[in-house]
Structure 1
Amino acid sequence: MPSDVERSRPGAGLPLWSFRDDVTIETAGDGSLTILTRWGDVPLGRPAPPVEEVLHRMTYGPVALGNVAGLDRRLLRSVFDRLPGRIVRSLGSADSPVPLLSVQPVSPLGVLALPEVTEEHPIRLSRFAFAAQRDGELVLESPLSHHRVVLHRPQASLVLGALPRATTSVEVGRRAGLALPVVSDVIAYLVGAGMVVAGAGGTSDFHEDSDRTLLLWSPYDLLFHSRSRLGPHDGPAGATFRHVATLPPPAATKPAPAGPRIPMYRPAVPNARGMTLIEAVDRRRSTRAFAEAGPSTRELGELLFHAARVRKQSVATAPADVRYAVTRRPYPSAGSLYELELYLTVDRCPDLRRGIYHYHPVEHALTLVNADPATVDELLDNARVAGGGRPPPVLITVTARADRLSWVYDSISYATTLKHVGMLEQTLYLVATMLGLATSALTLGDAGIPASAFGLDWPAEVSVGEFAIGLPENEATDNDEYPGVHGM
């Protein structure tokens, strides 16, 4: 535990201490204390009365240690050392009962150490820090930090607004119109929490700009990775059913839209072409050049039947005995929720009108939803796979109905959707290989065009993947040998 538990920092700031909101204290009959927390219970025995008084006060809000008479701060520090991830550090001031900011631990590794940052030391907002509103206050978080910072008062936000580029505490105070002691204290807490970085050795060289492991990550990818797994955050994750009390269960399948309905071919027996699964795995390739001719509705029907149809519908039970629909399909899906929808943009199919179709997996049918030539051209032009001189005959755009997973799962829902896209695409690949079709999963797709082209209620339903289908023009090129821009 840093030495600042023993004394106030010089200047305007007043160090304050409190527990996370989910910490409680249990007192046994013999007077011994146990700290109850989400990351485990910590027995403390019978601490000295002043230490016990501090602990109890900390359950009600920020405490100034100087207000507790007879407190031995070395004893208190030894207790704090046993409570990592439980203690909130706040920065107060004499002119207001509301702290300037609070640094809250979000993992059991959250222990704040306040660094010494001189007035002329180069500092900058970390490129991995991001701000969001929570409960009416500005909150800073970072996938690299085991803390979040809540900015309670405008002065702290003014300091933050002066940090997008390398600067110093003196310059921040000048730009924000704040006294230098206030700025220095705020910056010390922000640096300690990992939201602001200080230059190495007093220079303008920041570690995160040269660290090879950090250079491999964009801030958005690292944030997405960290928040969709258990780790340095305290958000709910997994099957929490947090919407079960407020929202009805989403439908198992999206209702078929209005429009001309085209029933698809239903094969009488699985794998009519006779190729084994092992052969299909061995022969799977990504094709980036398609023949002028396109697949028939029979071939598309067989592909969709074996890869995406609903095999079975049933009912599951959520907390509070709420019943919701689930389905079984050829590819796996977490909780049998199946949030993915398929839209086919058809360019060249001998017995199917050019246009955009929605696939209904229960009816095993296509519904024409958009026949505008310009919209079809735009989708297909964006789907030109690398190395191909013409757009694919058929483009499958995969969308996700966000509520199907988020109604059940917290934090992991979108990450799980991306895994589902991969499993669906692999299933499409293998079935298409058995049928002799040419295919390529695309690595890059447009988020805006499908929303308008398909009439989606964005962001309730968003596009998450693209898959091109056609007939082979020549020998397929393995993606390992030709790492194209779009094709996989």
Structure 2
Amino acid sequence: MTFSSLTVSLKPEITLSPVDGNILLQSSRRKLTFHQPEPGLKTALDALKQGTQTPEQLQTLVLETDGTQVREKFDAYLNRLIELGWICHAIPPSSPELSPLAIAIPMVGDYYFDCPEIDWDAIAFTLSRFAYLHQVEGEMVLESPLTKGKIKFSDWRGPGLVSQLSQPQTAASLSQEIPGITEEIAQQFLSLLFAAQMLSASFASPVEEDEEFESEEATPPLVFWEFHDLLFHSRSRLGRHNNPLGAIFPYVGKIDP
């Protein structure tokens, strides 16, 4: 089970509208027009709004309906939408009426979300020392000053799995920590967090020194940063978040001076 098993969806604030045979995708700042899209491509774009399909499923849909050339065009479109920060990735729920266990949400553009093929027997993962879990409007959210996205959890199991990552965990060991979490779900969970740059990777068993992963504790310039310094540095500047910034006066009229 790999990164490709995650579902993809448009962010809720991205609108999709049919206009004179075209499809218009629009955010508060920009819009993209797909001129006279082929039937399979149109269906795939519509499916992105539903958020129930994986990239492979969408690629197959386009390939079977429109052929290889349009499938390749869809791949390029999807990569562009990810780069714009318009695409969320989620662990598919076990049934349609349930919410995803975890969903990665971009906060800004120039977004990067990718996960290499993982040898699940050989690789262990640990939570990045820069990642932090907090409550936002009644939901638990995982963020990091290293990344341009955040991860929301639908119930207690997500934060529970995160807590286990204070120590190195393989997918097999992580699946034993929380009831109802299979090894397949653990692989999806680790893929999501690793692609979102929330994890550090290491070999599960000792290897030769020249084969080891570079850790945050030994990689310049991260080794020089403390958690609180990097968090303040990233959140007091534009670029890695979508929080209000500057003289926004949020409490005018609410709290007396």
- Scaled by the length of structure 2, the TM-score of the pair is 0.80
Q: Give the distance between the partners of 1:108 and 1:39, measured in 2 at CA.
A: 11
Q: Give the distance between the partners of 1:158 and 1:180, measured in 2 at CA.
A: 15
Question: CA shift at 1:218, angstroms?
Answer: 0.5
Contact kept, 8 Å, 1:14 with 1:93, in 2: the verdict is no
**Aligned twin of 2:75:** 77
* 2:39 paired with 1:49: yes
Bigger Rg over Cα = 1
Contact kept, 8 Å, 1:103 with 1:148, in 2: the verdict is yes
Question: CA shift at 1:128, angstroms?
Answer: 0.4
Question: CA shift at 1:156, angstroms?
Answer: 2.6
**Aligned twin of 1:389:** none
**Aligned twin of 1:108:** 109
1:139-164 alpha-carbon deviations (Å, 9 max, x no partner): 10111112111112333333212100
Q: Give the distance between the partners of 1:175 and 1:71, measured in 2 at CA.
A: 39
1:196-223 alpha-carbon deviations (Å, 9 max, x no partner): 1112798675421111211111111101
Q: Give the distance between the partners of 1:51 and 1:135, measured in 2 at CA.
A: 36
Q: Give the distance between the partners of 1:206 and 1:166, measured in 2 at CA.
A: 15
Task: Classify 1:190/1:242 alpha carbon distance in 2 versus 1 (closer, same or farther; 3 Å).
Answer: same
- The answer for unaligned runs of 5 or more in structure 1 is 1-8, 252-488
Task: Classify 1:212/1:82 alpha carbon distance in 2 versus 1 (closer, same or farther; 3 Å).
Answer: closer
**Aligned twin of 1:247:** 254
Contact kept, 8 Å, 1:44 with 1:79, in 2: the verdict is no
Question: CA shift at 1:94, angstroms?
Answer: 2.6
Greater share of residues in strand: 1
Determine what percentage of the aligned residue pairs are the same residue: 24
Task: Classify 1:158/1:201 alpha carbon distance in 2 versus 1 (closer, same or farther; 3 Å).
Answer: closer
1:147-192 alpha-carbon deviations (Å, 9 max, x no partner): 1111123333332121002232222222334321111111011111
Q: Give the distance between the partners of 1:215 and 1:10, measured in 2 at CA.
A: 30
Query: Quick one: which of 114, 127, 130 aligns to 1:128?
Result: 130
**Aligned twin of 2:233:** 225
**Aligned twin of 1:20:** 11
The alignment's C-alpha RMSD in Å is 2.8
Q: Give the distance between the partners of 2:43 and 2:249, measured in 1 at CA.
A: 39
Q: Give the distance between the partners of 2:246 and 2:116, measured in 1 at CA.
A: 36
* Partner AA of 1:79 in structure 2: Y
* Partner AA of 1:33 in structure 2: I
Q: Give the distance between the partners of 1:143 and 1:173, measured in 2 at CA.
A: 28
3-state DSSP of counterpart to 2:76: helix
Contact kept, 8 Å, 1:162 with 1:176, in 2: the verdict is no
**Aligned twin of 2:196:** 193
**Aligned twin of 1:142:** 144
Query: Quick one: which of 230, 245, 249 aligns to 1:237?
Result: 245
Question: CA shift at 1:108, angstroms?
Answer: 0.8
1:31-58 alpha-carbon deviations (Å, 9 max, x no partner): 2233222453233323222322332343
Which has the larger displacement, 166-175 or 133-142?
166-175
3-state DSSP of counterpart to 2:91: strand
- Scaled by the length of structure 1, the TM-score of the pair is 0.44
3-state DSSP of counterpart to 1:115: coil
Contact kept, 8 Å, 2:6 with 2:188, in 1: the verdict is no
- The answer for unaligned runs of 5 or more in structure 2 is 64-70
1:11-67 alpha-carbon deviations (Å, 9 max, x no partner): 9x95322111221234443x22332224532333232223223323433x4222548
Structure with bigger RCO (C-alpha 8 Å, 6+ apart): 2
Contact kept, 8 Å, 1:50 with 1:68, in 2: the verdict is no
Query: Quick one: which of 51, 56, 59 aligns to 1:62?
Result: 51
Task: Classify 1:112/1:10 alpha carbon distance in 2 versus 1 (closer, same or farther; 3 Å).
Answer: closer
3-state DSSP of counterpart to 1:92: coil
